[in-house]
Amino acid sequence: MGKFILQRLLAALVTICIATIAVTILIHLVPGDPVRIMYGSFQTTPEELEAIRVRLGLDQPIWTQYLMYLERLLHGDLGRSIVGDQPVLDVLLARFPATLALTVSSLFIAVVVGMSLGFLAAYKRGTWVDVGSMVLAIVGVSMPHFWLGLLLLFLFALQLQWLPVAGGDWRSLILPAMTLGLANAAVLARLTRSAMIDIFDQDFIRTARAKGLPRSIVLYRHALRSGLVPVVSMLGLQFAYLMGGAIVIENVFAWNGVGRLAIEAVLSRDYPLIQGFILFFATVVAMASVVIDVAYAFLDPRIRYS
Amino acid sequence: MIHSSSTADLADDLALASAPQRRSFWRALLGSPSGLIGLAIVAVLIFAALTAPIIAPFDPLRMAAGPRLQPPSLAHPMGTDDFGRDVFSRIIFGARLTLQIGVIAVGISLTCGLLLGLVAGYSSGWTERVLMRLVDVLFSFTEIVIALACLAIFGVGLTNAMIAIGIASIPFYARVTHSVVLVEKGKPYFEAAVAAGAGHIRLIFMHLLPNVVPTLIVIGTLGVSTAILAAAGLSFLGLGAQPPQPEWGFMLSSSRDLISRAPWMMIFPGLAIAITVLGFNLLGDGIREALDPRQTER
């Protein structure tokens, strides 16, 4: 187990390292002068621009810049944002709890709704329940998430007035979490259905039925437990999708998370903030996938030893 | 050497689908509900895009084509927006941009992903390991973050958004191609071609490529829907289409502040995106079933 965790941690570290290289190169790929692009709208003289260039280390060769970046990174310094002139790490950390709350609650909704729908469809295979839930799933996959968000907003916040349009407390979390959760439930429903169909056809289920076990035990203890293995293995990827999806949904509901910050950064071409965001996002996703993989390996010993 | 080239040709013949197979493909595609509905939706979209200036009742950019914020009526079947532009006409012209997005984005990701996957899968060893490790890492960054990074580099705009989405999906196509190549490399026809002394170029482009194509047609069709969704999302965020372009995602974004006063501005562009994406999803599923009848059971 220790070796497995170590392997996963190393893989995550490689991902993070590649992210640091990518964000260092990023600013050099910008056509034209990035300093002028960033500070062009402020009143700045050529001397001031040159001073900024030196301060950001952009006058150095690229590998020196990379080492400087790494060194600062090890001291927890991701640079200063241009628009707010604040340390990038502080800005990201201040906004992260909101994104985490949104991502985790929508993952919960996606798992509960998606798995039940997929399980039901597989169990009632070929009936209208199956057809109905799969139609629902394909409609869910095809719907733009932000449109679903607008529709829910229109219905629950504006027409019925059950929920606030925006705010920041837990009640204003319900709509964005529902949007993101339901939109991703569709993917999980299709996945669960095909995994469960595979299981229902297997010998051990037939044996369990043949020896006269109650249906609920066959379903929940035998079928569900083994059918969920491939689905659970997808949760790491789902978490990454939800983090990505949160970028758009946060903007629909004015939810003050890192996603909203990222869009503001791209629109205002705040490169230190963009670099920080990419690195931060890659780190969170990499660590989350380590946690999910390890939890998964605890559940299924076959993974640990393969 | 005459010998070897004829063996290689034999392998070619085995690899390519024959004419009757092609006919049964179309029959299977049109026979499945998802294939038929998907094809119909995509056909309507292409028709709308091609004939937009003829079938659209108004110029999509013309302000005050009717009174502002008018609900759907006979003159304006989908109402008018806050500038008095005809929403229906804007949606029809939007079909052009949507198709363009699909073709350009998928074109970029398909071409680059295919090449990467072919090279990685064909050249086992270090090249493969390094390439695929890189692809895996990029894949874990998620498409939206790669697209955001690209837009941070190129600047915002619809064309840049299309390119960004294309680049962002390269890892996915590379992964799929790579896995198909690994399967194909183990098959007897490929071993026969190697034994017959076929060169690298011949092996990659004459033997592997034709066998990767069917999978990529399916993935590419499904990929059009992902690209359309992603572009609509970026335009919605203000990073893609800019005013006054009649792009569906952007139209949704401008409907935001008027949702309670003019819900039609939000409903119709959203429906247009959802139906189009559904069309490409169904078509992709239909093609998959037609190419691989064993899957139809599912």
Residues A17-37: tens digit of each pLDDT: 989 999 999 888 888 788 877
Rounded Cα–Cα distance for residues A288 and A188 (Å): 18
Nearest to A144 among B143, B152, B232 (CB): B232
In a domain, B16, yes or no: no
- Of chain B, the percentage scoring pLDDT greater than 70 comes to 91
User: Is B238 or A34 the better-scoring residue by pLDDT?
Assistant: B238
Query: What letter would DSSP give residue A87?
Result: B
Rounded Cα–Cα distance for residues A111 and A181 (Å): 8
| Closest chain A residue to the Cα of B228, Cα to Cα | A144
Instruction: Give chain B as a 3 state SS string.
Output: CHHHHHHHHHHHHHHCCCHHHHHHHHHHHHHCHHHHHHHHHHHHHHHHHHHHHHHCCCCCCCCCCCCCCCCCCCCCCCCECCCCCEHHHHHHHHHHHHHHHHHHHHHHHHHHHHHHHHHHHHCCCHHHHHHHHHHHHHHHCCHHHHHHHHHHHHCCCHHHHHHHHHHHCHHHHHHHHHHHHHHHHCCHHHHHHHHCCCCHHHHHHHHHHHHHHHHHHHHHHHHHHHHHHHHHHHHHCCCCCCCCCCCHHHHHHHHHHHCCCCCHHHHHHHHHHHHHHHHHHHHHHHHHHHHCHHHHHC
Looking at residue B264, its amino acid is W
Rounded Cα–Cα distance for residues A250 and A237 (Å): 20
Helix (H) / strand (E) containing B258: none
Name the packing angle between helices B158-168 and B143-154 (round to 10°). 140
In a domain, B32, yes or no: no
Each residue's pLDDT tens digit, A197-220: 888 888 888 888 888 888 888 888
Please report the residues numbered 270 through 289 in chain B whose beta carbons come closer than 8 angstroms to any beta carbon of chain A. Answer: 270, 273-275, 277-278, 281-282
Mean pLDDT for chain B overall? 87
In a domain, B201, yes or no: yes
Q: Are A144 and B273 in contact (CB < 8 Å)? A: yes
Rounded Cα–Cα distance for residues A222 and A202 (Å): 11
Work out the minimum CA distance from A252 to partner chain B, whole angstroms. Answer: 8
Per-residue pLDDT at B16 exceeds 50? no
Nearest CA among A217, A222, A216, A228 for reference residue A203: A222
Q: How far is CA A8 from CA A12, A285, A293, A305, B223, in A?
A: 6, 13, 8, 14, 30
User: Is A298 or A168 the better-scoring residue by pLDDT?
Assistant: A298
CATH number at residue B193: 1.10.3720.10
pLDDT of amino acid A41: 67
In a domain, B13, yes or no: no
Q: Are A138 and B282 in contact (CB < 8 Å)? A: yes
Number of independent structural domains in chain B: 1
Per-residue pLDDT at A302 exceeds 80? no
Place of tokens 């300093």: A35
In a domain, B14, yes or no: no
Neighbour tally for A6: CB within 10 Å:
10
Work out the minimum CA distance from B253 to partner chain A, whole angstroms. Answer: 9
Whether the CB-CB separation of A5 and A294 falls below 8 Å is answered with: yes
The answer to ipTM > 0.90 is no
Please report the residues numbered 210 through 229 in chain B whose beta carbons come closer than 8 angstroms to any beta carbon of chain A. Answer: 225, 229
Average pLDDT over every residue of A179-204? 87
Helix, strand, coil tally for chain A in percent (to 5): 80, 0, 20
pLDDT of amino acid B168: 95
In a domain, B30, yes or no: no
Rounded Cα–Cα distance for residues A7 and B73 (Å): 63
Residue A178 tokens, joined: 């529902």
Q: Are A142 and B236 in contact (CB < 8 Å)? A: no
pLDDT of amino acid A304: 64
Please report the residues numbered 254 through 273 in chain B whose beta carbons come closer than 8 angstroms to any beta carbon of chain A. Answer: 255-256, 259-260, 263, 266-267, 270, 273
Rounded Cα–Cα distance for residues A300 and B293 (Å): 33
pLDDT band, very low/low/confident/very high, at B1 (cuts 50, 70, 90):
very low
Work out the minimum CA distance from B104 to partner chain A, whole angstroms. Answer: 20
Domain of B47, in residue numbers: 37-297
Q: Are B281 and A286 in contact (CB < 8 Å)? A: no
Residue A179 tokens, joined: 């949007």
**B130 touching chain A per CB within 8 A:** no
Each residue's pLDDT tens digit, B86-116: 999 999 999 999 999 999 999 999 999 999 9
Instruction: Give B57-69 as a 3 state SS string.
Output: CCCCCCCCCCCCC
In a domain, B17, yes or no: no
Rounded Cα–Cα distance for residues A8 and A170 (Å): 34
pLDDT of amino acid B14: 40
Find residue B86's DSSP bridge partners: B80
pLDDT of amino acid B20: 60
pLDDT band, very low/low/confident/very high, at B12 (cuts 50, 70, 90):
very low
Mean pLDDT for chain A overall? 87
Rounded Cα–Cα distance for residues A122 and A130 (Å): 7
pLDDT of amino acid A306: 54
Chain A residues in contact with B148 (beta carbon < 8 A): 247, 262-263, 266, 274, 278
Average pLDDT over every residue of B156-176? 95
pLDDT of amino acid A168: 66
CB pairs under 8 A between A and B: 126
In a domain, B205, yes or no: yes
Let me know if B295 is exposed, middle or buried by CB neighbors in 10 A (0-12, 13-18, 19+).
exposed
